[in-house]
Amino acid sequence: MHRTHAGARPADLIGSAPAQDERTAAIAELGTTRHPARIEHLADELTQAGAQHWTGIARSELIEALILCLTGDSIRQDADAEDAICSTLELMGVMTRAGNLVFAFVPDGELASSDLVAVRRYRAWLPIRYTTVQPTKRG
């Protein structure tokens, strides 16, 4: 049985090795909150918790939640939140970076099939700059 600290939300306990229910809670919160500072914090916590090493359904759900965040205007207007989201996606091998806040999705042919499904699901709602930039270096 997993115990949490009194008053702590699962997403706040992501620090070391998160349990599956904590991952699910963090992904769910990413998918529902539209507060840039909170999204930035969650993306940073997930990266510190090793999200780039996740596999299976948790990985796919996280990628989808992060990409969905990028569809919101408030996130794209907050450089820190956008950087946190894109940096997490970069560490997961889904995006590349060409400079400060210059990100693009990895070409379809280089993505794992499950990652490609997530990218394609939301591509129509993403700014074109994420698909037209030709980054020069990868994470």
Q: What is the mean pLDDT of the chain?
A: 80
CA nearest 70: which of 131, 5, 125, 14? Answer: 125
User: Which of 41-45, 49-53, 85-89 shows the lowest mean pLDDT across its residues?
Assistant: 49-53
Q: Which domain holds residue 54?
A: 20-132
pLDDT at 88: 94
Inside any domain, residue 64: yes
Q: Which amino acid is at 129?
A: R
pLDDT band at 10 (very low <50, low <70, confident <90, very high): very low
- Take residue 51 and report the two structure tokens written for it: 């999200």
- Take residue 84 and report the two structure tokens written for it: 């946190």
Inside any domain, residue 45: yes
Q: Which residues contact 99 (CB under 8 A, 6 or more apart)?
A: none
Q: What is the pTM of this model?
A: 0.78
Inside any domain, residue 123: yes
- What gap in Å lies between CA 34 and CA 94, rounded to an integer? 22
- Give per-residue pLDDT as tens, 111-130: 999 899 989 998 889 888 88
> What is the count of structural domains for the chain?
1
pLDDT exceeds 60 at position 45: yes
Inside any domain, residue 12: no
Inside any domain, residue 74: yes
pLDDT exceeds 80 at position 106: yes
Inside any domain, residue 71: yes
- What gap in Å lies between CA 51 and CA 84, rounded to an integer? 13
102: which strand partners?
99
Inside any domain, residue 10: no
pLDDT at 132: 62
pLDDT at 3: 37
Inside any domain, residue 94: yes
